[in-house]
Every structure is written in C-alpha cells, then in structure tokens.
Amino acid sequence: MHIGTAGIPIGCKNCSSVDALKFLKDMGLNALELEFVRGVKMGEETAKKIKNRADLLGVKISSHAPYYINLASDDPNKLERSLEHIKKSLYITNLAGGHITAIHMGYYQNLGKEETYKRMKNALKSLGEFIEQYNIKTKMGPETAGKLSQFGRLDELLRLMEEVEYVEPVFDIAHLHATREFDFTKKQSYYDFFNKTNLDHYHFHFSEINYGEKGERNHLNVGETMVPNYKYFLDVVKELGIDATIILETPDLEVSAKKLLDYWNTL
C-alpha cells in the first residue's frame, strides 16, 4: 500500500519536491504526486534527483498533468498545446521514476459522447510514438472526471485502456461519487467497483467531496462528512488484497493522508 499527497505537504515549509520525500517518509507516508497542474516547470536535473531520493526512501512517484488540456478541442492549436503538455509531463515524470501521469482529458462540449470518445482516443493514440521514441515507462492516466461536462466516466476510461496502448485510468473515488456512478457511502459499492475494473494495480485519488447536480463542487478533508467513506474503501482494499496507491487531494493533504494511514494500520 502506498499513501501520499498531491504535491508538497502543507506542513513542509519552503520545501522542494525533493525535500518533501523525506518529510512524507518521516510521517510514515510513501507516495508523492508531482503537481504540474499550472505547467511543467520542473527541469531534468530535479526530476533525476527526485528519482534517486524516492528510490532510496521507497516513495512512489506519480504526477498530474496541467489543467490546460482539452483533447477534444476543435481548435488544432489548442489540441497541439494539449498534447505538448502531456508529452512534457510524461517525459519529466519518467525521469523522476513516476509510474503514471494523471490527465484531465477535456470536455464533451456539444460533440456527443461517441464523437468525444473518438477524439480522446485518437489524441492518446498519437502519443504512442513519442512514448516509444523516449522509452517512457510512465503510463498515461486519464482521470475519472468529477463534473458531468468533463469527459471521463468510468466506462469510457476502461474502454480507452482496452483500445489504446500505454493507458491506465486514474480512479478518483470522490469524482466517481460526485457523478453518481457509485454511491461510495456504501461498502457494497467498493466491491462493485473492484468487480467491474479488475486491475493488477490501482492509482487512486481520494478526498471527501461537496457536489451538486452537475457533479463536483469542491474537495473536502477526510473525516468531515465521510462522503465518500474512507473506512469502507480501505476495508475492501484490504479484504481483496488490492495493490493500490492512494493520493490525497484534500485541502489539508498530509493530515488526511495520515488519517488513512492510521486506519490502514489498524486493519
């Protein structure tokens, strides 16, 4: 089990990503998602340092690609820029030893589900050559989206995984709850989820969530509302022997991560 934070822990003052690894380790945590959400600004040297230190400490690395991505865009320039963001993310994450890059794929707009799917699929497919050219081990991780206007229902991502090489979904539990694909206040829903997905390894995002008719509004700290229920989540992960990495995307980051870790250690 790997549990960690989306970005540098809040309590790690003036820390670099490299410093954050030791901070997490000292808390008993062992995963860090590098946040490239406002652009990939990390250089190659830093990425290599992260890999060395993370290997040494046993911290699992992943990343989150920039938010400025829409792989279903009508505008060829916008699509090209989106692909560039993903390439940069994959390249640097690979140097950092990261196993997956979470990607917000974009929007349905008025395209209809099937046309959107086709565009998303073609866009990810077009990155295969780049991945092979640079021998990139980092997987492309289209994320289950929290808003209904955003592409990324579970079925669509499982289909992408089947149909495109180097793709492995990133499962955001709170988003799957906010879109009502699952009711994760119920333990049974976690069994249903694992039955349906059936993978060797899972990369999760977790938080509690405030949501409405259109889906996600904002993320909440663990323990505030128990929606989704983290205890049921970990119970089922434990019971089924699931190999998981869980990244906390809560406002309080490492505080929530520690809550999951503490509960996990009681199981």
Options 80-88, 139-147, 154-162, 258-266: segment touching Zn ion (CB under 5 A): 139-147
Element (H, E) at 83: helix 76-95
Amino acid at 207: S
Give yes or no for residue 35 binding Zn ion (CB under 5 A). Answer: no
Q: In whole angstroms, what is the distance from residue 6 CA to residue 63 CA?
A: 8
- Quote the least distance from Cβ 184 to Zn ion, whole Å: 17
Residue with smaller CB distance to Zn ion, 140 or 231:
140
Kindly state the smallest distance separating residue 87's Cβ from Zn ion, in Å. Answer: 18
Only one of the segments 27-35, 52-60, 138-146, 180-188 lies at the binding site for Zn ion (rule: CB under 5 A); that segment is: 138-146
Nearest residue by C-beta to Zn ion?
143
Q: At what angle do helices 230-240 and 187-197 cross, to 10 degrees?
A: 50
Size, binding site for Zn ion by CB under 5 A: 1
User: Which structure tokens are listed for 93?
Assistant: 């994450």
The answer to whether the CB of 62 falls within 8 A of the CB of 97 is no
- Rounded to a whole number of angstroms, the minimum distance from the CB of residue 212 to Zn ion is 19
The whole-angstrom separation of Cα 235 and Cα 80 is 43
Q: Which is nearer to Zn ion, 25 or 209 (CB)?
A: 209
Instruction: Decide: is 143 part of the binding site for Zn ion (CB under 5 A).
Output: yes
Q: Which of residues 170-209 bind Zn ion (CB under 5 A)?
A: none
3-state DSSP assignment of residue 223: coil
For residue 142, give every residue at least 6 positions away whose Cβ sits within 8 Å of its Cβ, in sequence order, or none.
103, 105, 120, 124, 152, 157, 160, 167, 169, 170
Strand order in the sheet with 170-172: 139-142, 100-103, 60-64, 31-35, 2-6, 244-248, 202-206, 170-172
Nearer to Zn ion, 25 or 147 (CB): 147
Task: Kindly tell me which of 9 and 142 has the beta carbon lying closer to Zn ion.
Answer: 142
Q: Among 39-47, 136-144, 188-196, 231-239, which window interacts with Zn ion (CB under 5 A)?
A: 136-144
> Residue 109: which residues within 8 A CB-CB, separation 6 or more?
72, 74, 116
Q: How far is CA 161 from the centre of its chain?
A: 15
State the nearest-atom distance from the C-beta of 36 to Zn ion, in Å: 11
254 binds Zn ion (CB under 5 A): no
Kindly tell me which of 30 and 144 has the beta carbon lying closer to Zn ion: 144
Q: Which is nearer to Zn ion, 53 or 153 (CB)?
A: 153
Q: Between residues 205 and 231, which has the closer beta carbon with respect to Zn ion?
A: 205
CB of 38 to Zn ion, least distance (A): 13
Contact footprint for Zn ion (CB under 5 A):
143
